[in-house]
Structure 1
Amino acid sequence: MLGTIREFWNDQRGIAMILVSIMLPVLVGFALLAIDMSRANGLHADLQKGVDALALAAAAELDGNTDAIIRANRAFTTLLANETLFSTAGEHPIATADVTIAYLTGIPASDDIKLTAAGVDSNGVNWASTDPKLVKFAEVTVNASSTTADGAGAFATIFPASFIGGGDRMDLRPQAVAGFTNALCQFTPMFICNPYASLGALQTAVSGTSKPMIWLKEQTGGNNAQYGPGNYGFLSSPEGDKSAQKLTEMFAVTNPPACYSQSGVKTRPGNVTPVNDGINTRFDIYPNGNSGKLVPSSAPPAPNVRKGMVVKKTGGSCSYDLPGSGQTNNYKALPRDNCFYSGTCTQAGVLGNGAWDFAGYWSVNHGNASTSGVLTACGASPSRYCVYKYEINNPTLKSGQEKTPPQCNTTTQLADRRLVYVAIIDCAANNVQGGGQTLPVQAFASVFVTETAGGPPNADIYGEIQDISTSVGQGTLKKLQRNEAQLYR
Structure 2
Amino acid sequence: MAAARPAPDVSVMLPAIIGFALLTIDISRANNLHNDLQKGADAFAIAGAAELDGNPDAWTRAERALANLVENDSRFSSVTVRADLDNGGVVNGTTACRNGGDIAWCFLASIPLSDSTAINPLTGVDANGVDRKAATSADAEFIMVSVQASRFDAIFPASFVGAGANNFFDVGATAVAGFAGVVVCDMTPLFICNPFEGSGIPLHQVISDQNFYRKGIKLVQGGGTGAWGPGNFGFLNPTGNPGYGAGDLADDIAQANTPECINSRGVNMRTGGPQPAVRDAINVRFDIYGGQMKDNDPLIPPAPNVRKGFKYKNTSNPNACTMDPVTSSDTEWPQYRHMTQDTAYDGTYGRIGNGMWDYEGYMAANGFTTADMADFVDSEGNSYSNANPPSRYDLYKYELSTRGTGNDLVASPSLGGETGVAACHASPSTDPDRRLIYGAIINCIEHEEDLNGASGDPIPAVGFASFFLTEPVDQARTNGDITAEIVDIDGEQGRGTMVGFAKDNVQLYR
Instruction: Please state which band the TM-score falls in when normalised by the shorter chain.
Output: 0.5 to 0.7
* CA apart distance, 1:139: 1.8
Selected match of 1:403 from 404, 412, 419: 419
8 Å Cα contact 1:215/1:350 also seen in 2: yes
Selected match of 1:73 from 70, 75, 83: 70
* CA apart distance, 1:212: 1.1
Selected match of 2:452 from 423, 426, 434: 434
8 Å Cα contact 1:56/1:179 also seen in 2: no
8 Å Cα contact 1:219/1:227 also seen in 2: yes
Counterpart-to-counterpart distance in 1, 2:66 and 2:359: 44
Q: How many residues align?
A: 400
Selected match of 1:250 from 249, 252, 256: 252
2:339 corresponds to: 334
* In the alignment, structure 1 residue 416 sits paired with structure 2 residue 433: yes
* In the alignment, structure 1 residue 387 sits paired with structure 2 residue 404: no
Q: Residue by residue, what CA displacement relative to the aligned partner does 1:338-377 show, whole Å, maximum 9, x if unpaired?
A: 00128xxxx7421111111111111111254444432347
2:121 corresponds to: 117
SS in 2 for 1:366: coil
Counterpart-to-counterpart distance in 2, 1:375 and 1:412: 27
Moved more, 422-431 or 306-315: 306-315
Counterpart-to-counterpart distance in 2, 1:340 and 1:365: 26
Q: Residue by residue, what CA displacement relative to the aligned partner does 1:183-236 show, whole Å, maximum 9, x if unpaired?
A: 2211111111111224526623554384211111111327xx642111111222
Alignment of 1:162-181 (within 5 A): 176-180=175-179, 181=181
Structure 2 CA distance for partners of 1:279 and 1:316, relative to 1, 3 Å: closer
Structure 2 CA distance for partners of 1:100 and 1:253, relative to 1, 3 Å: farther
8 Å Cα contact 1:423/1:443 also seen in 2: yes
Selected match of 2:488 from 467, 470, 488: 467
Letter in 2 for 1:413: T
Gaps of at least 5 residues in structure 2 are 1-33, 52-60, 83-100, 155-169
Selected match of 2:46 from 28, 43, 59: 59
8 Å Cα contact 1:199/1:442 also seen in 2: no
8 Å Cα contact 1:188/1:422 also seen in 2: yes
SS in 1 for 2:322: strand
Counterpart-to-counterpart distance in 2, 1:96 and 1:428: 46
8 Å Cα contact 2:280/2:290 also seen in 1: yes
Structure 2 CA distance for partners of 1:430 and 1:488, relative to 1, 3 Å: farther
Structure 2 CA distance for partners of 1:177 and 1:255, relative to 1, 3 Å: same
Counterpart-to-counterpart distance in 2, 1:60 and 1:277: 44
Which is helix-richer, 1 or 2? 1
SS in 1 for 2:350: coil
2:464 corresponds to: 444
Letter in 2 for 1:439: I
* CA apart distance, 1:463: 0.5
Structure 2 CA distance for partners of 1:240 and 1:71, relative to 1, 3 Å: farther
8 Å Cα contact 2:110/2:142 also seen in 1: no
Gaps of at least 5 residues in structure 1 are 1-46, 82-91, 151-170
SS in 2 for 1:318: coil
8 Å Cα contact 1:281/1:300 also seen in 2: yes
Selected match of 2:222 from 215, 219, 223: 219
Alignment of 1:302-341 (within 5 A): 302-311=303-312, 318-323=321-326, 325-341=330-346
2:202 corresponds to: 200
8 Å Cα contact 1:211/1:354 also seen in 2: yes
Selected match of 1:139 from 141, 144, 148: 144
Q: Residue by residue, what CA displacement relative to the aligned partner does 1:413-437 show, whole Å, maximum 9, x if unpaired?
A: 3210010111112222344533523
* In the alignment, structure 1 residue 186 sits paired with structure 2 residue 186: yes
Counterpart-to-counterpart distance in 2, 1:450 and 1:281: 13
Letter in 1 for 2:423: Q
* CA apart distance, 1:269: 3.8
Structure 2 CA distance for partners of 1:58 and 1:141, relative to 1, 3 Å: closer
Structure 2 CA distance for partners of 1:60 and 1:273, relative to 1, 3 Å: farther
Q: Residue by residue, what CA displacement relative to the aligned partner does 1:303-331 show, whole Å, maximum 9, x if unpaired?
A: 11111102457798833223494423211
Taking structure 1 as the reference length, the TM-score comes to 0.67
* CA apart distance, 1:253: 1.0
Counterpart-to-counterpart distance in 1, 2:213 and 2:136: 39
Counterpart-to-counterpart distance in 1, 2:319 and 2:203: 50
8 Å Cα contact 2:305/2:421 also seen in 1: yes
Counterpart-to-counterpart distance in 2, 1:109 and 1:135: 8
1:6 corresponds to: none
8 Å Cα contact 2:150/2:172 also seen in 1: no
* CA apart distance, 1:108: 2.1
1:277 corresponds to: 280
Counterpart-to-counterpart distance in 2, 1:128 and 1:116: 19
Counterpart-to-counterpart distance in 2, 1:236 and 1:103: 37
Structure 2 CA distance for partners of 1:212 and 1:449, relative to 1, 3 Å: same
Letter in 1 for 2:108: I
Structure 2 CA distance for partners of 1:145 and 1:441, relative to 1, 3 Å: same
Structure 2 CA distance for partners of 1:421 and 1:182, relative to 1, 3 Å: same
2:503 corresponds to: 482
Q: CA RMSD in A?
A: 4.7
Structure 2 CA distance for partners of 1:252 and 1:77, relative to 1, 3 Å: farther
* Max Rg structure: 1
Structure 2 CA distance for partners of 1:486 and 1:202, relative to 1, 3 Å: closer
Counterpart-to-counterpart distance in 2, 1:249 and 1:455: 21
SS in 2 for 1:375: coil
2:376 corresponds to: 374
Counterpart-to-counterpart distance in 1, 2:147 and 2:354: 55
1:240 corresponds to: 241
Counterpart-to-counterpart distance in 1, 2:293 and 2:186: 24
SS in 1 for 2:461: coil
8 Å Cα contact 1:206/1:466 also seen in 2: no
Identical aligned residues as a percent:
30
Letter in 2 for 1:234: F
Counterpart-to-counterpart distance in 2, 1:315 and 1:97: 74
* CA apart distance, 1:483: 3.3
